[in-house]
Amino acid sequence: MLKKNIGMNTICTHTGAVEDVVFGGAVSPIYMSTSYDFIDKSPKRYPRYFNTPNQELLAKKIAALEAAEAGLIFSSGMAAISNVMLMALKSGDHAVIQNDIYGGTRNFIESHFRSYGIDYSFTKDLTSKAFKDCLKTNTKLIYIETPSNPMLKLVDIFAIAKLGKSKGILTAIDNTFATPVIQKPITLGIDIVIHSATKYFGGHSDITAGAVVSSQKIVDNLWDLAKDFGGNLSDFSVWMLERSMKTLVIRVKAQQKNAKKLASFLEKHPAVAAVYYPGLKSHPNHDLAKTQMRGYGAMLSFELYENYPVLSFLNSLNLIKPSMSLAGVESTMIMPSKTSHALLSKTDLKAQGISDQLIRFSVGIESKKDLIYDIEQALNVCKK
Ligand SMILES: Cc1ncc(COP(=O)(O)O)c(C=O)c1O
């Protein structure tokens, strides 16, 4: 029996492991069965009901890491996000949403909310007062993403949770960039925490998954919708994710240590016009970061001056991969205007500050000096 307040690394390694009662193996067996005995059995198990042994136990691990009561594992981050939004919002309802969010989330809202009869307001001003000013009598959800993708903007999590509670409105956060290693929004009063588990939870760029944690009551409501939409993750991927999450804390800590060094290096570099990283004193929300984050994460963005063409820079990298997605142990860089946010209009891109000179840098675990060397040599090659 483990003591009550166990550490994050212990949760990662042990909580939610499936015990191998037959052979006593040290790692979880995989239950790939899609067919379970139903006679006198409760619950009735079926993968789309999110209740196979591997699914249930991994949800416990993620809930424990986020200090939540319960959770569900989805087939992708977008499956998690869309299920949460459609659980919280019905025809005639209104949502207040942070303007700076992952492009896919924004595309989901802009492409589908109106056809479901759901109204929404994006707020560019990220103060809690601005969120409050957007509220309507029919507002049922406040949705934030902090740090945001790709500009690393921050929202005061505690203030948003307080606003939601004072008005009886559900609050949800996309905690993908931070992970529970860096911030635990449930402890600050947020109702629902969402992850693209494709990112740090998976950590090796080989799993697409999503996760939602919250109170048991909210997770039960979510389950009611999710089992009908059918966005569960296959048990093999669930098993891979449980294995990957054993190293979550040590990976994120190593990546963020590198990111802090790389952000300072880039900020001083003459080719770099701006660096966006909450750990830098120059970041407008650096003080807020110190209060709500433990560390500053491993994602940063930077802008090159015009005489360093971005595509040519990315093509000249030898070690850092110019590839989509983020948060793997290997460093990657992308142009958000051509990838994660490509579906946004020119006006929206401008409003979020996403220029064609902007590069999003997902810092990996490689040796810091090798990353710096790679950036230096690529800048030398691409300079006009
Ligand atoms: C912050 C954030 N949230 C959600 C998603 C969507 O996750 P997925 O690609 O797993 O559906 C992404 C994907 O890049 C993301 O960066």
pLDDT tens-place string over residues 268-281: 999 999 999 999 99
For residues 322 and 349, the answer to whether their CB atoms sit within 8 Å is no
For residues 222 and 213, give the distance between their C-alpha atoms in angstroms, rounded to a whole number: 10
In this structure, the residue with its CA closest to atom 8 of ligand 1 is 77
Return the CATH fold of 249-382.
Aspartate Aminotransferase, domain 1 (3.90.1150)
CB of residue 196 inside a 6 A radius of ligand 1:
yes
pLDDT at 17: 84
pLDDT at 5: 83
pLDDT in tens, 193-248: 999 999 999 999 999 999 999 999 999 999 999 999 999 999 999 999 999 999 99
CATH 3.40.640.10 fits 10-245, yes or no: yes
CB of residue 102 inside a 6 A radius of ligand 1:
yes
CB of residue 104 inside a 6 A radius of ligand 1:
yes
For residues 195 and 33, give the distance between their C-alpha atoms in angstroms, rounded to a whole number: 26
Nearest-atom number in ligand 1 for the CA of 149 is 1
CB of residue 77 inside a 6 A radius of ligand 1:
yes
What's the average model confidence in pLDDT over 242-264? Answer: 98
Given the residues 102, 120, 200, 308, the one annotated as active site: 102
Q: How far is the CA of 207 from the centre of ligand 1 (A)?
A: 12
CB of residue 183 inside a 6 A radius of ligand 1:
no
Given a cut of 80, whether residue 4 has pLDDT beyond it is no
Given the residues 93, 100, 174, 235, the one annotated as active site: 174
pLDDT in tens, 51-66: 999 999 999 999 999 9
CB of residue 301 inside a 6 A radius of ligand 1:
no
Highest mean pLDDT out of 3-7, 315-319, 338-342, 349-353: 315-319
Nearest-atom number in ligand 1 for the CA of 176 is 1
Residue 1: band (very low, low, confident or very high) from pLDDT cuts 50, 70, 90: low
Residue 324: band (very low, low, confident or very high) from pLDDT cuts 50, 70, 90: confident
Helix, strand, coil shares of the chain as percentages rounded to 5?
40, 15, 45
pLDDT at 130: 98
Query: Which residues, at least 6 apart from 367, have a Cβ–Cβ distance to it below 8 Å?
Result: none
For residue 383, indicate whether it is catalytic.
no
Domain boundaries, the chain: 10-245, 249-382
Nearest-atom number in ligand 1 for the CA of 145 is 1
3-state secondary structure 32-100: CCCCCCCCCCCCCCCHHHCCCHHHHHHHHHHHHHCCCCEEEEECCHHHHHHHHHHHHCCCCCEEEEECC
Given the residues 199, 251, 260, 360, the one annotated as active site: 199
The better pLDDT of the pair 341, 102 is held by 102
For residue 348, indicate whether it is catalytic.
no
CB of residue 285 inside a 6 A radius of ligand 1:
no
pLDDT at 2: 61
For residues 286 and 26, give the distance between their C-alpha atoms in angstroms, rounded to a whole number: 43
